[in-house]
Amino acid sequence: MPEVFQQTSQLELIQQRRGVGKYRRWFRDAVDYWRKWQDEAREDYDFVEGRQWTKAELMRFKETMRPAITINRIRPLLNVLGG
């Protein structure tokens, strides 16, 4: 009789693991889905804050002895809109 209970508990354990695996998979899918949006949003926030040049572009400017000029027309617009 105890053997039947052991098998049942092992079966339940396997089912629980599968259930947890399903939720982990859902979580990974959600993270992967939103990752592109997060990267684009981070780039947008950097642009508003005046960080508009990539490291490669800044290096190229430095090598050619040109200034990296940033004219930020977005920040004043956000101030007018109350942002």
Would you state the structure tokens that stand for residue 82, as one six-digit string?
């109350």
3-state DSSP helix/strand/coil % of the chain, to nearest 5: 75, 0, 25
CA angle 40, 41, 46 (to 5 degrees): 100
Q: pLDDT digits over 21-52, tens only?
A: 788 888 889 999 899 899 999 988 888 888 88
> Using CA atoms, how far apart are residues 66 and 74, in angstroms rounded to an integer?
24
- Based on C-alpha coordinates, what's the Rg of the chain? 27
Every domain of the chain and the residues it spans: 49-83
How sure is the predictor about 71, in pLDDT bands with cuts at 50, 70 and 90?
Answer: confident
How sure is the predictor about 76, in pLDDT bands with cuts at 50, 70 and 90?
Answer: low
